[in-house]
Amino acid sequence: MKRVLLRSSAFLRAAKKHCKSDPDSAENLRSALQLLEADAFHPRLKTHKLSGQLKGSWAASAGYDLRIVFRFITHEGAEAILLETVGTHDEVY
């Protein structure tokens, strides 16, 4: 099911910072976002629920150590994905 991706300002800052420090990861991130938009549960994304302080959010893999944290929301009457942040495993958890 295709969903609209909504990028939070925190996500945009984190993505810009991460891609600046690791330019090779930009293509992995772009590819993962396209998959997330088309099918949030594509096997390559390894989508899973988070717990603890991040309860209610989900995470998807955008590469070996790159994670996208997001929430499923309703936007203008349709299902959407709010991108919360992106970074390495240690940065986002």
* C-beta separation of 58 from 71 below 8 A: yes
Q: How many CB atoms lie within 10 A of CB 64?
A: 9
pLDDT at 1: 78
Reply yes or no on domain 4-92 having CATH 3.40.50.720. Answer: no
Residue 27 binned pLDDT confidence (cut-offs 50, 70, 90): very high
pLDDT surpasses 90 at 9: yes
Residue 58 near residue 69 (C-beta atoms within 8 A): yes
Q: String of b and e for 8-25 (b: at least 16 CB within 10 Å)?
A: eeebeebbeebbeeeeeb
pLDDT for 50-73, tens place per residue? 999 999 999 999 988 999 999 999
**Beta-sheet strand order (sheet of 4-7):** 4-7, 78-88, 66-75, 58-61, 48-49
pTM for the whole structure: 0.94
